[in-house]
């Protein structure tokens, strides 16, 4: 193990992890070595006879644990993106050990005592010092010995349960795929789509990690739609019990830490600050959204000629959209070829707005043959970082789309960022990869996160890039979605994959006219998931749930969001955002998307008022907000960009709820 690639910094450009050298047997020794090394470093900090200073305490903590960080960042990237059986086994073993390790640092009384004695006049240092103090308090540093011991037990059990939830979901999402030997049952899917899912004489339609599967909009066979919908909503039933147990444990932990419930604990260090603030915002949306969805349902049933069921919604929504707006979303697909969307859309927009340039580095390898690496240069030609792109779905990848860092920017270590986007696009058996508009929008969204990481210009890793409050982190990525339909950007990438002809203007006009259609469904689906998350995490300590499905139904009814035709975007059993292992960081935080969208809609209005896609606007957004990461208060950064507090009216108008 002397050759373990995690033991020393990568020698590749930008310190890109040396994936070609990394083997699965390297992970456990690297984790063990990294944890032991960091605990020794902490002991050295605590034993320092000199008076505590920022340099010998806070900065020393920032410098600690480098082997562990290098190992964890690669391992958990693969646990989401390419989780082999061996990776899953290692995750099961290492997750609770990492939780214990974190507790060993945050519950170290001598270390916390040093932190409390540090004083600095430097604003950037003072901000980081306060973040560390808050981290330690929220982790239990001020609890008694007995309370800390119980906290350790809770954390370890939650870690184990979260890993089990995640692995159950990954296995069930694959096992619950719709399988048929009869292509007639899949009528409505394109020939290209059928070829992509044909395996050994059978057609295997995999599930994506949300309730309403994209194929529901295309499948003409109603029975097939029902089967697909029920496979989606019924997957991983064992996760209901795990989620209920996790919610109860989180409630106990929250009270131990001085909060009435987990929701209150979760929002205390976010921009929302209080549960009342979240509930006030959600309360403004529920009534109009449900009323809107019910009107849409009436139109769909009229189109169908019978009362629709949930699995009919997407299919007849497309028919109503076509009848009302003469728009069929499938007509757009031939104009959205993946590489063109990436290079002539996503990258082109970043070039126009920020002056960025992208060059593919075929000499740099990812962890899978589908992974691509691009070098990013700033407007002045200087190096900015690397962008790693993993577009395709596979059985070893979790559902959804996400961004993460492989290297955090920081001046402390002189490191430039290496950021990564994961999508879940079905890879065609042959020919070009053609996207839906939703997939195009997702590509722009995730690249907004990537820009947040790439533009980071901070001193310390703890506040680098997207290390901002959870209910703020989605905001820059949502803003970046606006460029997907910006006329000059759309004209640049939306070209027919065979003829090169631009997308017809009338088709774009129809798409834009139809944008607010089905917003009732989209908003109710999202709000139902948000309020379900909220209900689980407002459980009082000692309150247990025996029947998680009954709890789910009652919670939606109580919140006024229950609508039999629109289930939550994520039901409890596949709500990975809030219950799955290391990615369950959105517990009592799924509201963040709509909270961030308030900022996003208001910011889009600012861009449009100030000339749209021009460098001056991009430079202002970058300098005032994107580059500061978490090195200053998030809402202060917003006000520095927007010039005032956000308004909710642009969001209500966007979603047809005004």
Q: What amino acid positions are annotated as catalytic residues?
A: 446
Q: What is the number of alpha carbons within 13 Å of residue 209 lying toward its C-beta? A: 26
Distance, in Å, from the CA atom of 313 to the CA atom of 321, rounded to the nearest integer, reads 12
Token pair, residue 323, equals 């009848």
Work out the burial of residue 489: count CB atoms within 10 Å of its CB; fewer than 13 is exposed, 13-18 middle, 19 or more buried.
buried
Q: Sheet containing 402-407: which strands, arranged edge to edge?
A: 357-360, 372-377, 383-392, 418-425, 402-407
| 3-state secondary structure (DSSP) of residue 539 | coil
Secondary structure of 169-228 in the HEC alphabet? HHHHHHHCCEEECCHHHHECECHHHHHHHEECCEEEECCCCCCCCHHHHCCCCHHHHHHH
Instruction: Give the other-Cβ count within 10 Å of 544's Cβ.
Output: 10
Assign residue 612 a region (left: φ > 0; alpha: ψ between -120 and 50; beta: otherwise).
left
Q: Determine contact, residues 406/90, Cβ cutoff 8 Å.
A: no
The string of DSSP letters for 587-599 reads: TTTTTHHHHHHHH
Distance, in Å, from the CA atom of 521 to the CA atom of 216, rounded to the nearest integer, reads 14
Work out the burial of residue 353: count CB atoms within 10 Å of its CB; fewer than 13 is exposed, 13-18 middle, 19 or more buried.
buried
Q: What is the number of alpha carbons within 13 Å of residue 408 lying toward its C-beta? A: 23
Distance, in Å, from the CA atom of 603 to the CA atom of 642, rounded to the nearest integer, reads 7
The closest of 212, 210, 244 to 225, measured between CA atoms, is 212
Alpha helix positions (H), 355-436:
none
Work out the burial of residue 121: count CB atoms within 10 Å of its CB; fewer than 13 is exposed, 13-18 middle, 19 or more buried.
exposed
Distance, in Å, from the CA atom of 286 to the CA atom of 281, rounded to the nearest integer, reads 9
Q: Determine contact, residues 131/142, Cβ cutoff 8 Å.
A: no
Instruction: Give the other-Cβ count within 10 Å of 276's Cβ.
Output: 11
Q: Determine contact, residues 238/527, Cβ cutoff 8 Å.
A: no
Phi, psi of 635 (to 5 degrees): -75, -25
Q: Determine contact, residues 456/407, Cβ cutoff 8 Å.
A: no
């Amino acid at each position: 193990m002397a050759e373990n690639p995690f033991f020393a910094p990568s020698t590749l450009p930008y310190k890109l992890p040396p994936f070609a050298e990394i083997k699965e047997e390297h992970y456990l020794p690297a984790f063990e070595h990294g944890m032991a090394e960091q605990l020794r470093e902490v002991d050295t900090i605590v034993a320092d006879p000199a008076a505590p200073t920022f340099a010998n305490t806070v900065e020393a903590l920032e410098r600690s644990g480098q082997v562990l960080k290098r190992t964890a960042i690669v391992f958990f990237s693969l646990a989401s993106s390419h989780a082999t059986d061996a990776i899953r086994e290692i995750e099961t073993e290492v997750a609770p050990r990492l939780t214990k390790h974190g507790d060993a640092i945050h519950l170290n009384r001598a270390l916390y005592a040093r932190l409390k004695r540090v004083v600095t006049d430097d604003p950037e240092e003072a901000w980081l010092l306060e973040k560390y103090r808050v981290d330690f308090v929220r982790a239990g540093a001020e609890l008694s010995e007995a309370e800390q011991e119980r906290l350790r037990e809770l954390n370890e059990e939650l870690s184990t349960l979260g890993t089990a939830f995640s692995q159950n979901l990954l296995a069930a999402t694959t096992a619950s795929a719709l399988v048929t030997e009869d292509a007639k049952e899949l009528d409505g899917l394109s020939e290209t789509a059928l070829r992509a899912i044909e395996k050994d004489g059978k057609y295997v339609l995999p599930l994506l990690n949300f309730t309403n599967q994209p194929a529901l909009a295309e499948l003409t066979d109603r029975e097939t739609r029902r089967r697909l919908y029920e496979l989606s909503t019924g997957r991983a039933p064992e996760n209901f019990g795990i989620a209920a147990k996790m919610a109860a444990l989180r409630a106990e932990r929250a009270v131990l830490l001085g909060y009435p419930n987990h929701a209150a604990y979760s929002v205390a260090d976010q921009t929302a600050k209080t549960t009342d603030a979240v509930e006030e915002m959600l309360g403004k949306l529920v009534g109009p959204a449900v009323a809107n969805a019910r009107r849409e349902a009436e139109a769909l049933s009229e189109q169908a000629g019978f009362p629709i069921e949930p699995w009919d919604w997407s299919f007849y929504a497309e028919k109503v959209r076509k009848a009302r707006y003469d728009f069929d979303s499938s007509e757009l697909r031939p104009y959205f070829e993946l590489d063109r969307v990436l290079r002539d859309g996503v990258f082109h927009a970043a070039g126009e707005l920020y002056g960025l340039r992208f060059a593919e580095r075929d000499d740099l390898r990812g962890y899978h043959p589908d992974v691509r690496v691009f070098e990013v240069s700033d407007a002045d030609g200087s190096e900015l970082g690397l962008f790693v792109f993993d577009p395709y779905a596979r059985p070893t990848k979790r559902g959804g789309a996400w961004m993460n860092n492989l290297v955090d920017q920081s001046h402390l270590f002189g490191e430039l960022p290496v950021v990564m986007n994961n999508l879940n696009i079905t890879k065609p058996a042959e020919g070009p990869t053609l996207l839906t508009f939703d997939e195009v929008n997702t590509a722009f969204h995730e690249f907004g996160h990537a820009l947040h990481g790439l533009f980071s210009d901070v001193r310390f890793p703890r506040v680098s890039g997207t290390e901002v409050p959870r209910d703020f982190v989605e905001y820059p990525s949502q803003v970046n979605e606006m460029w997907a339909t910006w006329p000059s950007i759309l004209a640049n990438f939306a070209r027919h994959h065979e003829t090169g002809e631009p997308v017809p203007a009338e088709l774009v006009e129809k798409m834009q006219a139809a944008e607010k259609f089905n917003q009732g469904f989209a908003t109710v689906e999202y709000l139902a998931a948000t309020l379900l998350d909220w209900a689980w995490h407002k459980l009082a300590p000692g309150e247990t749930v025996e029947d998680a499905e009954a709890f789910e139904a009652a919670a939606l009814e109580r919140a006024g969001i229950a609508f039999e035709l629109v289930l939550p975007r994520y039901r409890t059993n596949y709500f990975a955002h809030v219950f799955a292992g290391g990615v369950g960081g959105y517990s009592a935080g799924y509201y963040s998307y709509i909270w961030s969208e308030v900022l996003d809609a208001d910011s889009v209005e600012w861009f449009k008022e100030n000339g749209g896609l021009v460098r001056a606007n991009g430079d202002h957004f970058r300098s005032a907000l994107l580059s500061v990461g978490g090195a200053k208060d998030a809402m202060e950064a917003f006000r520095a960009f927007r010039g005032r507090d956000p308004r909710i009216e642009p969001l209500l108008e966007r979603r047809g709820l005004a």
